[in-house]
Structure formats: C-alpha cells, structure tokens
Structure 1
C-alpha cells in the first residue's frame, strides 16, 4: 500500500458502460477540488460491454475480480486498494461521487466506518422502488438495529467510507448483496470499530437496463444473514418463550382443565404444551451450540458468548439434572403402572386422569435423557474454551 495515497474511491462494476464514465469523472473531480491524494479503482466483475476500457480512458485503475458477486467484487477491490481510506459506491450514477467531503471529514476525524444515510440525505423521485423505500430497507434496518444494538439508520446504503486496515480485520466473507449487512454487523459487534453516519442523497440511476438487485431474493439473503449472525434472536428468545409458555400451561393442565367460555382445554392441549417444552428446549440448546461454533470459527466476537457459563453449567451438574428428571418420570410411570395392574392390565376406567400424568411422565423422561446427552456434547465443545 502506497503511503502517499490517502483515499481510494472504489466502485464495483458489472457491465456499467452507460454510467461508469460519469461516475469516474465525478470521483476525479472530488479528488481535485478537495486536494485529496487518491485513486479511482474499478473492481470489475467480468464486464463484457467495454467497461474496463471506459474506466481506463477516464483515468481509473481497473482490477479484475474473477469471483462472482457484489461482495466478492468489493472484497477483491478492498484488497487491491492503495489508499488508507476507501469510499465505496455503486457505479450506476445513483450517488454523487463529487460530493464526498462529509465522508472524508469523518474518516479524518478517526471513524473506522462512515455510513451514508439516504433517508436523512434525501431520495429523489423514482430513485428507490416503493417496496425498498417503505418496507424492505426500513424493516431490515430496524431488525439490524434491534439484533446488534446498532444506531445505523440505513443498513443498505451503498455509499460508505472506511479505514481500509480496520475493515480488513473484520474478515468479511459474503460474496453477494448481503455483504452490505455483513460489514455493519461485524463492525457493530466489534469493540474496536467506531461508526458514524452522514446524510447522503440518492439519485435515479442512469442505466437503461434493470439493476442487478433482486427485491425478494436479495431481501431474503439480507434477512437470512441477520438471523444467522444473531443466535440470540434466532434460537434463544423464541426458545425461551416456547419453553416458559409450555411449562406454565402444562403445569396448570396437570392440575385441572382450563375453561375459557365454551372452550375447554384438557389433555389434548397438554400434549401440545409438552411439545412446546421440547421445541423450546431444543432452541435454547441450539443457541449455545451455535454461539460456541460461531465464536470458535471467528464469525462472532468472543463477547457474543458468555464463557463463564462453562463454570456454572458443568457436565456433572447437567447429568445430575438429567438423571433427576428421568427418575421423576420413572416414579410417575411406576405409579401409573400400579393403577394399570389394579385394572388387571385392561382398559383404564379414567383414561383422562391417567393421561394427565402419563404425558408429563414421558416428557420428563425424554427431556432428562436429552439434558444428559447435551451436557456431554456441551462439555466437548467447551474443552478448548475451558483450557484456553
């Protein structure tokens, strides 16, 4: 990396011959007007319309990225950049590369990631599809803020600046459109990355063809990424909710039926409430397994998982809890067996009363076995953490 180059203006490109020249010229104008020592870098993702020649003629440097995808192009471009700072943006003329002074100012102040916010800067008519503006972006940005305690108001703004070295430490990996979310998520989870926002205006892109972005496909990919990077919201919170509701409902139904107006909840509801306990328990255990794996693989920072939990939840304690649940289930089963013997192993006179105990007995027995097995597996996963 050449120390004399302060800024790289990076544009991913895939057949952008219609708009690439004006984007490069605007970027060059910014560097000249604000006396910034920099370069314009085009990360070409296999264009076949002469975009490479257009970029070169207009003074940009072109690097060929063979791996396909928006994220792959940007990751390759970041690797090839020579500047201390990078400002990236789409090469469809939807952002004004001649007006990057607010980004540059924040980068020079020491921020590691400077996000553009189109909702604060203004969105011109027909610059953003209706679903993107009023549903997709607001909902996904809200989910991102909720899951990762981020203050970013526009998770998917394509214009953003960052310190090259700081962002490379995040080990960004996604090759598709979800790259935009990955950068913010990992930056928000990191204790070392400082983030801020600046208003950014969005213009209608200058292309005559449809954009590469696909509303539902790429929207799902963003949502999927946010969920996968937040085991707490994907597994723990739904799991705990099901577990607590199932336990409470089952406890009441074991004692007596529930009457709500003309509706009577009895042993059939008890069967489903016990199923909620199983599902909830599975979700909670998956949360811990997924968190350990993500931290171990470097996908999430170590602070995402409470390592001290291994000190509290030991193999011995888990096995003891599991055995206790199994024994309670067996004791109830023995009592039911006695009732059955009194009926000479024939039909039970009060099957409703019997099932009110049989269902919890089976639930406790199976749950206890699961606790024992998961305790062993949990301890195996924690071996490295305990000894490190």
Structure 2
C-alpha cells in the first residue's frame, strides 16, 4: 500500500486526527521541518515514521519524505487537518491501477472559512499560468496527490521551497505524463494551526514568488 508523505511544521494540534484517519495499510512519513511544539514526538506516538529535515522549506521536507519512502506509490498530503487522509485512495487508486501517472486532488471547500480569499485569488491566477505553461486542464496544484516513487525521483526536482508542488507538475507535463485532476473535500484546518503557505497574505506572496520562478524556468 502507498506511503504518505506529510510535510510538517508545528502541527501538533492536527496530527493525532490526521494520522488516525489514514486508510488501512497506508504508511505515514512525517517529514518534520523544525517543529517546536512536539510534533515529531506526537507523530511517532501515533505510529508514523518521523524524519528530521534540517533544511528549511516545504520542498525540502516533501522531497526528504519522497526519498525515504519505500513503496512503489507515494502520496502527499497536508498535515494540518484541512484534508482528510481517508480520501487518499481517490488519488492513489488511479496510479495503482495504471490509468494515471500523477493524480492531483482539486480542493473543494466544504464550508466557509476553509480557504482564505487571498489564497483563492492566488490559486486562480496560478491555475491560469499553469494551464498556459503545461497545456493541462488543471485548476489547482492539489496538495493531496499521488504518483510512483521512482518516476517522481526521475523528474530531478530541485526546488526546495514553495515551488516544489508546481515543479512536480510542470516536469511531469514536460515528460508526457498522464496528469489527472479530481475533486477532494477541503475543510478549515485544525484549530490552533495555520498554513505556512497561504495562511497569511505574506505567505501567499512568498508562494507566488517561488512558483513564478518555477514557471519562468
């Protein structure tokens, strides 16, 4: 069954629920990026494999988790409780069945407050740029996603910041992968946690900057 990479930075409030929602047989790899709230210890207590990733950056944590994975299929999922790991088979099953090479979960908010307005606007703009760059009919970068481990490593991903998810998609498109998008529920993140990517306007600006660099390369 697939390994699940969970990049983590101070997600102590969400991890028990997130790890408890993993489908049977899925193995959690929590790639901790310098948490100070006890997240690594909580993850280990709930059965996850924990990696300490000293290099700061979302991409650094995500890629370290990918390298540590051992299963043929690897999933990625946010660790803040905004996405339900019980939905992981939605993205993993097409890859397991061989009908897709990369599956992205398009976020569909379940209620008001799940997705801040500034983040939604940024996502629309990035979606337009992504479609122009790749020719793929995509609307979201899909933080819940799945692909085969050896294929992902073969893409030679180099971004170690917020541009990592976008670089994965652009390189997959350039390689002629079958990239599919499907809807997944998206809820407000767990109480007491905040997105390091889109939780603030500044975080959104940094994300757009990193992703524009990827699109221009």
**2:180 aligned residue:** 196
Alignment of 1:167-182 (within 5 A): 167-182=152-167
Displacement after TM superposition at 1:90 (Å): 0.9
Which runs of no fewer than 5 residues in structure 1 stay unpaired? 1-5, 32-36, 230-388
**1:124 aligned residue:** 111
- More strand per residue: 1 or 2? 2
**2:200 aligned residue:** none
**2:12 aligned residue:** 17
**2:103 aligned residue:** 114
2:196 pairs with one of 170, 193, 212: 212
Alignment of 1:1-388 (within 5 A): 6-27=1-22, 30-31=23-24, 37-110=25-98, 111-118=100-107, 121-133=108-120, 135-155=121-141, 157-191=142-176, 193-213=177-197, 214-226=203-215, 228-229=216-217
Please report the TM-score for the alignment, with normalisation by the length of structure 1: 0.53
Displacement after TM superposition at 1:101 (Å): 2.3
Displacement after TM superposition at 1:42 (Å): 0.6
**CA distance in 2: counterparts of 1:205 and 1:101, whole angstroms:** 20
**CA distance in 1: counterparts of 2:35 and 2:103, whole angstroms:** 29
- More helix per residue: 1 or 2? 1
Which runs of no fewer than 5 residues in structure 2 stay unpaired? 198-202
Give the CA RMSD over aligned residues: 1.4
Q: How many residues align?
A: 211
Displacement after TM superposition at 1:123 (Å): 4.5
**Is the CA contact (8 Å cut-off) linking 1:39 and 1:83 kept in structure 2?**
no
**CA distance in 1: counterparts of 2:46 and 2:185, whole angstroms:** 24
The structure showing larger relative contact order (alpha-carbon pairs under 8 Å, at least 6 residues apart) is: 2
Displacement after TM superposition at 1:53 (Å): 1.1
Distance 1:45 1:97, change over 3 A: same
**Is the CA contact (8 Å cut-off) linking 2:10 and 2:193 kept in structure 1?**
no
